[in-house]
Structure 1
């Protein structure tokens, strides 16, 4: 079949320890920064959603126009899509009173539908094959739904089921550990293991973010959304600068099967 979309170098980083550390920190920032903008700076839920949505749109336009993976642009887009995904769930819960159970189920179905459409179109879900605009579009749509789903699932466990932030973090972290073990010792499919872990890092990061920022009476450490957000943003910046200089997360692309 003739390739109808432009081909480029792979647009995502190699899946290394750096990738997972930055990803978890991005999910934590997504949780705390949304609260920081909404409450601390007084933007309100509507304006926080609008502003972050516009900035995310601008970043994705830049990301799509680049011919290769550029760490600062890519990870800044991940930070903003994390914040925006959080706000989607927050709007449904706080503004429209949608149950967290319903949000979790709906976003899970939306994510599954995205994966199904992606695989039907491209015959692969590997992130090493993000070498066309169409595949990149599927990739970012899937990421958006993972963040919205993770926010809903994290809040469902921590608040609706009253498990608390740290117990929820242990649960999600434990499941990720089991997936990791299955990949290394039971030959679990690499693509399946990646996406399962990717989905679960969102509620893990959200639980950690809430646990660090919320007051002690609510089960947190009381660092506040401001301190937690800036702390993790600083760590993300340091790692992204390091990777930009060392190029340790560069990955060769898999050529599309239809090329």
Structure 2
């Protein structure tokens, strides 16, 4: 098999997108939507964190199952599944922080342990946590569960840094977004250093984009008295959906190249 043919086959078998600048733009928008959409269901509709978590958990299971059954990379399905992880991550983080009464530091600690456990189990079973290894149903489940915990951790981190109650650091939504944005810039600069693990940088960036989106989402829909712009959660969510759809249409979407030994 020629090199060109092998590359085509590897890309065709991959069901996750190539990590490009456009990937991160859509990811941040999806995480912001997860914050506004999750808050709309749990707060604006007054369903509560437990009911919201159960609703988004059902959506998560259905979409991940569809993603795993798919034969190739479908951008609409992939990003819908990402949105499901961000909304579920929002309600899970809020449930840990508030309903369990452990506060932001306790919620961050619990979710961090879950993320580390997910990555450790994935590595123990497969020998790698690289996205290039996402080529079998078992690895896909590891991938999506790890993404869910990373989204949940990002939400909890954003609330901890920006919030003033429940043990929060109280830096505010604008400064919180600036802190996480600067952290992503540092990760981007480290990407230029060949000796740093690309896999580690990917997961650091994936986690950091979530609190950036969380603080941006809170900035949009929280009351002015709390440092937000007090936009309607529903309208903010609709605008974000339109933006994400536009990005998927305009920005290049292609499957990532699967590792040859995956």
What residue is the counterpart of 1:171 in the other structure?
Answer: 179
Q: Structure 2 length normalisation: TM-score?
A: 0.89
2:258 is aligned to 253
State whether structure 2 residue 166 is matched by structure 1 residue 162: no
Shift of 1:220: 1.2
Q: Distance in 2 between matches of 1:123 and 1:49?
A: 32
1:114 aligns with 2:118: yes
Aligned to 1:75: 79
Offset from partner CA, 1:187-208 (integer Å, 9 cap, x none): 4221111111111111111001
Aligned residues: 248
Deviates more, 1:183-192 or 1:202-211: 183-192
Question: What are the within-5 Å matches in structure 2 for residues 93-112 of structure 1?
Answer: 93-112=97-116
CA shift, 1:185, in A, is 4.1
1:189 corresponds to = 197
Cα distance in 1 for partners of 2:116, 2:182 equals 23
SS in 2 for 1:226: helix
Question: What is the rounded CA distance, in whole Å, between the counterparts of 1:191 and 1:94 in structure 2?
Answer: 32
List 4+ stretches of structure 1 deviating above 6 A.
Answer: none
With 101-110 and 40-49 compared, the bigger mean Cα shift is at 40-49
Alpha carbons of 1:56 and 1:169: their partners in 2 closer, same or farther (altered >3 Å)?
same
Q: TM-score, normalised by structure 1?
A: 0.90
Aligned to 2:3: none
**Post-superposition CA distance 1:209-241 (Å, at most 9, x none):** 101221221111222312221111111112223
C-alpha displacement of 1:48: 2.1
Q: Given the alignment of the two structures, is residue 150 of structure 1 paired with residue 154 of structure 2, yes or no?
A: yes
Question: Counterparts of 1:146 and 1:230 in 2: how far apart (Å)?
Answer: 24
In structure 1, the gaps of 5 or more residues are 1-6
Deviation at 1:47, TM superposition (A): 2.7
Contact 2:15 2:255 in 1 (8 A): no
Q: Is the 2:49–2:92 Cα contact (8 Å) retained in structure 1? A: no
